[in-house]
Structure 1
Amino acid sequence: MGGVFADRILTVPNVLSVVRLLGVPLLVWLLLVRHADGWAFTLLILSGVTDFLDGKLARLLDQSSRLGALLDPFVDRLYLVTTVAAFLIRGIIPWWVVAILLGRELVLTLTLVIYKRRDLPPPDVIYLGKAATFALMSALPWLLAGEMDWPLDGFGRAFGGALLVWGTTVYVWTGVLYTGKAIAIARTIPAVPHRSA
């Protein structure tokens, strides 16, 4: 049954990914316009839970799809980049962390050209990369919790900071691995000649 849903669009995991996508502008509004950190914290937690669920449900319900394979990592990256940018504006995280994370994304975006010129699909997601994204996405609500006036604000700052350092380190390492894969492809597989219309 593995390929039955390969081209389906309306699946439970894809619906969850779209719901998460719709949460991105709401998160920006909560963080930068309303400064409603409690609600933003809740939204970040819900995003993490639905991210975990869409992957599990895709396998459990046998609803993996090509759209899901593209949409899920896209929404992950969008959430990460948007939240990190909002945190930078709010002064919650330093600029150099943002530079590292965005630099990694820029490099990986450029490596996609190598695959495209060879008519190859993007590389499979490295499990360690998912773990790094999970650590970073877990760090963000805790860092936000450190900004709120409640008994666990000190713990939130410390725990969120530790997750941020670990997640950033692994995120950069997986970026090196993805880049290495792209370079190996470029060296071993010739580009497909450009076809004129």
Structure 2
Amino acid sequence: MHAQLVPPQEYDTDAVLTIPNVVSFVRLLAVPAFSVLIILGHDVAAVILLAAFGATDWVDGFLARRLKQRTALGAKLDPVADRLYILAAVVALLVRGIVPIWFVVVLLARDVMLALTLPQLKRHGMVALPVNWIGKTGTFLILLALPLILLGSPSSLGWVWAHWAGWIFGGVGAVAYWVAGLLYVREAVRLGRGEAT
């Protein structure tokens, strides 16, 4: 018997417009502004915005627990927001010529791979598998790496230490991102075989 793939989730309410969810919606609405700031060269402002909305990632979870407003929607919004920020950042950095196309392909191919598991999950009444700690670590490292890569670029502030630190974090984060993705695919396959308990 395999470990349970989808542990039962405890939610406090089915409401959509809870305070934590509103915080998450605001974070999502800021994604276009974030990418535009990078493309237009307002790098420090973009990094400040990313840091501010990164902090809200903790705030909405804290509020959900404190106010007893944990919802299924809120649980889905967090990883969606993280992926959108990564997508917005890498595309904007590609437009600026700061990251190579292969780096963008590496990150996006992983999400395409996961998207292919959605039909299988939907057949079992699911929209996603629970986020694992490797995925959280990879996402955190990539979200840390991208602003460092930006600020380390010669077309930005040119901080050499930020350039090297950014690419180290980005490389390790990309590996963790893919390891987590492959684990998600393995669990989706197990689910399809009826091996979940």
Scaled to the shorter chain, the TM-score interval is 0.7 to 0.9
CA deviation profile, 1:103-153 (whole Å, cap 9, x unmatched): 100010110110112323421111221121111111111111213337xx1
What is the distance in 1 between the residues matched to 2:117 and 2:123?
10
Q: What amino acid maps onto 1:70 in structure 2?
A: K
- Higher mean alpha-carbon deviation, 171-180 vs 83-92, is at 83-92
CA deviation profile, 1:8-53 (whole Å, cap 9, x unmatched): 2222321221111111111122122x21111111111112211232
**Higher RCO (CA 8 Å, separation ≥ 6 residues):** 2
Q: What amino acid maps onto 1:116 in structure 2?
A: K
What is the distance in 1 between the residues matched to 2:60 and 2:134?
18
1:45-194 alignment runs, 5 A limit = 45-147=51-153, 148-149=156-157, 153-188=159-194
Unmatched tracts of structure 2, length 5 or more: 1-9
The yes-or-no answer on 1:12 pairing with 2:43 is no
- Higher mean alpha-carbon deviation, 43-52 vs 18-27, is at 43-52
1:27 aligned residue = 34
TM-score, with structure 1 as normaliser: 0.86
2:45 aligned residue = 39
Tell me: CA distance 1:120–1:149, structure 2 relative to 1, closer, same or farther (3 Å): closer
Give how far 1:56 is off: 3.1
Give how far 1:70 is off: 1.6
Q: What amino acid maps onto 2:17 in structure 1?
A: L
Q: What amino acid maps onto 2:189 in structure 1?
A: I
TM-score, with structure 2 as normaliser: 0.86
What is the distance in 2 between the residues matched to 1:167 and 1:61?
33
Q: Kindly report the root-mean-square deviation, in angstroms, between the aligned alpha carbons of the 2 structures.
A: 1.7
Give the SS at the match of 2:175: helix
Give the SS at the match of 1:188: coil
1:195 aligned residue = none
Unmatched tracts of structure 1, length 5 or more: 190-197
What is the distance in 2 between the residues matched to 1:58 and 1:106?
30
What is the distance in 2 between the residues matched to 1:24 and 1:76?
10
What is the distance in 2 between the residues matched to 1:3 and 1:172?
29
